[in-house]
Amino acid sequence: MTIKVGDRVPDGTLTEFIETETEGCQLGPNAFQVADLVKGKKIALFAVPGAFTPTCSAKHLPGFVAKADALRAKGIDEVWCVSVNDAFVMGAWGREQQTGSKVRMLADGAAAWTRALGLELDLTQRGMGVRSQRYSAIIDDGVVKTLNVEAPGKFEVSDADTLLSQA
């Protein structure tokens, strides 16, 4: 079953590559519980089929990096990029795209959370395995307020400008 507006996001574990060690977060991959991350926060979330892929790298992620401050000005606490990749790949992609503190690069390595959302995409025939559909959402205290799922192969409704207009 696919998640929809009004639903609470399922709990799950996402990992993030931490560049600078801080109290509670060591250098390297750190695991976080989604329920803890969304509690009391308004999240602008977008998901992509894969890090370093053409549309994701040229349009999707750069759009959210560029609009992160505008999203925060509308009450968004954090901007997340989620992909079915490992934390090392997401960390490298974030460095390459200069996401800094604008976008959290969160990995769903085994697609467990993506499957729980019902937003997986089977790209096995293309040699990529199970990935995420391309989508964006606003999650407010764990509840989906908006959800924009792309048709296969499209990039029309999950962009930063669309989500900014919905914030």
Q: Which pLDDT score is estimated for 161? A: 97
pLDDT one-digit tens code per residue, 130-146: 889 999 999 999 999 99
- Check whether 84 has a pLDDT greater than 80: yes
pTM: 0.92
| Averaged pLDDT of the chain | 93
With bands split at pLDDT 50, 70 and 90, how would you rate the model's confidence at 98? very high
More confident residue, 17 or 124: 17
Residue partners of 125: CB distance under 8 A and separation at least 6: none
**Residues 3 and 136: beta-carbon distance below 8 Å:** no
Question: And the tokens for 70?
Answer: 């505008």
Catalytic residue from among 37, 44, 45, 56: 56
pLDDT one-digit tens code per residue, 119-133: 998 887 877 778 899
Q: Which pLDDT score is estimated for 122? A: 85
User: What is 7-166's CATH number, 3.30.450.20, 3.40.50.720, 3.40.630.30, 3.40.30.10?
Assistant: 3.40.30.10
**Residues 126 and 50: beta-carbon distance below 8 Å:** no
pLDDT one-digit tens code per residue, 19-72: 776 676 677 788 999 999 999 999 999 999 989 988 878 889 999 999 999 999
Q: Which pLDDT score is estimated for 152? A: 84
Q: Where are the domains positioned within the chain?
A: 7-166
Q: Has 25 been annotated as catalytic?
A: no
**Residues 17 and 87: beta-carbon distance below 8 Å:** yes
Q: Which pLDDT score is estimated for 1? A: 77
User: Is residue 12 classed exposed, middle or buried when 0-12, 13-18 and 19+ CB atoms within 10 A define those classes?
Assistant: middle
**Cα–Cα distance measured from residue 106 to residue 14, given in angstroms and rounded to the nearest whole number:** 6
User: Is residue 97 classed exposed, middle or buried when 0-12, 13-18 and 19+ CB atoms within 10 A define those classes?
Assistant: buried
